[in-house]
Structure 1
Amino acid sequence: MKNIIITGTSRGIGFELAQLFAKNNYNVLALSRNAEPLKKIALQNISTLAVDLSNDNDLQKVTSFVSKNWKCVDIVIHNAGKLINKPFSQLTTNDFLDVYKVNVFAVAELTRQLLPYLKIGSHVVNISSIGGVQGSMKFPGLAAYSSSKGALLTLTEMLAEEYKEEGISFNALALGAVQTEMLEEAFPGYKAPVSSKEVADYIYNFALTGNKFYNGKILEVSSTTP
């Protein structure tokens, strides 16, 4: 059985992804600040950890779990995200830091800590946003969020280059509008053409097979704007 780590699993895409992998007989370690939603489902093959991704000490819970229970990790899906929707004139340095801590720094640190457990054929999938892609349409109020997602795309390319000799693949999916709580926060009242479950199905298949075809790539998964 392959071992899968997914962040941001208390709601939305991550919540659906954890269930999808578990129901298909994969071992899942689900990370989120609130572990209760998945605990209530009590699916076999899902282990939950309440983790604040912005806290490096909390991340050590993850490597401790892997060391004791798995020894290796086949897929990491960095799905967790933080969004602050404010006019740029009102954004503070702390706002930027809060967003970057989750969307960039936590991805880098958790990946770094997991490197000893990633092996040839392992696949790290970073969930970014179409708003982070250079040349895409941008929206007022999302300066911190979109710029952090742009940084995540570059980080993906860098890690793919640095670890290609080890056989570890890094790819990023730049998602467009998906009907999630986060979308509602950014665009109140907007109805996306795809659901969390539909996008979870896409990510599930990409995580399992995408590294056979891609490494260091940014794939735009968007049919609409936003």
Structure 2
Amino acid sequence: MKRVIITGTSRGIGFEMVQLLAQQDCEILALSRNDQPVKDLNLVNVTTLPFDLSSTEDLTKVEFFLNENWKSVDVLINNAGKLVNKNFEEITSEELLSVYQTNAIGAFQLIQKVVPFMGSKGHVVNISTMGGVQGSVKFPGLAAYSSSKAAMITLTELLAEEYKEKGPAFNVLALGAVKTEMLAEAFPGYEPPTTAKEMASYIANFALTGHQFYNGKLLQVSNSTP
């Protein structure tokens, strides 16, 4: 039974991943500011914690849980994301900091807490966006979101290099359009070809097996623009 930590599990891809991985006999720690949706599933092999990526106290709670209960972690999926869709000149300092805290800084800090519990066969999967990939199509209004997710791509490459001798492996998936509430905020009225459950299935399988084939890689998971 693999032990998997997933952030951003209250809705969309993260919510679907919890259910898919629970069916594959994984033990899951589901982290989200609103833990009620996963709690309501009543899955015996899933633990939920209300968790805010901007809270030092919540990061410490995760570390305490791992020390007291699991002792080891096989997979960390940094799935949480925060979106601000605004003209560049209208984005406030508070909004910018909040987006970066969730999408980059908080994920950075969570990795710091979790990596000591991971062995050579562990796998950290960071979720980015096609908008964060150099040379990809860019869209107005997403300066804060896409640039923060771009930071996760470089961080993944750096950590793969730093831990290449002892593990874990680090990879990043840049997602295209997926039918989620967040995409609806970014592109109102657009109907994407991929459902949250379909993407969740791909990420879940990659998280469990991708470290056997990849390390420090950016994989573009997209069949559309956006």
Q: TM-score range by the shorter chain?
A: over 0.9
1:24-39 paired onto structure 2 within 5 Å: 24-39=24-39
Task: Determine helix, strand or coil for the equivalent of 1:166.
Answer: coil
Structure 1 residue runs of 4+, over 4 Å off? none
Counterpart secondary structure, 1:84: coil
Alignment of 1:99-178 (within 5 A): 99-178=99-178
Deviations 1:123-155 (A, max 9, x none): 000000000000001101000000001111000
User: Per-residue deviation at 1:177?
Assistant: 0.0
SS at match of 1:41: coil
1:1-20 to structure 2, matched below 5 A, reads: 1-20=1-20
Residue 115 of structure 1 deviates from its aligned partner by 2.0
Identity %: 60
The CA distance in 2 between the partners of 1:167 and 1:119, in whole Å, is 6
SS in 2 for 1:80: coil
Letter of the 1:43 counterpart: L
Question: Secondary structure of the equivalent of 2:148?
Answer: helix
Question: Which residue number corresponds to residue 96 of structure 1?
Answer: 96
Counterpart Cα distance in 1 of 2:92 and 2:101: 14
Gaps of 5+ in 2: none
2:197 matched to which residue of 1? 197
Alpha-carbon shift at residue 198 of structure 1 (Å): 0.2
SS for the counterpart of 2:43 is coil
Q: Secondary structure at the match of 1:182?
A: helix
Which whole-Å CA distance do the structure 1 matches of 2:38 and 2:150 have between them?
30
Provide, for residues 4-51 of structure 1, a one-character-per-residue CA deviation record: whole Å limited to 9, x for no partner. Answer: 000000000000001111111110000000000011110110000001
Cα displacement string for residues 195-215 of structure 1 (whole angstroms, at most 9, x for unaligned residues): 000001100110011111110
Read off the aligned partner of 2:104 and give its amino acid letter: V
Q: Which runs of 5+ in 1 are unaligned?
A: none
Q: In the comparison of the two structures, how many residue pairs are matched?
A: 226
Matched letter for residue 8 of structure 1: G
Offset, 1:55: 1.1
Q: Aligned AA for 2:2?
A: K
Counterpart of 2:70 in structure 1 is 70
In structure 2, the residue matched to 1:215 is 215
Distance 2:54 2:189 in 1: 29
RMSD: 0.7
2: CA distance, partners of 1:20 / 1:65: 23
For residues 45 and 138 of structure 2, the distance between their equivalents in structure 1, rounded to whole angstroms, comes to 40
1:125 partner amino acid: V
In the alignment, is the contact (CA less than 8 A) between 2:115 and 2:168 conserved in 1?
A: no
Deviations 1:152-207 (A, max 9, x none): 10000001101111121000000000000000010111111000000011001100
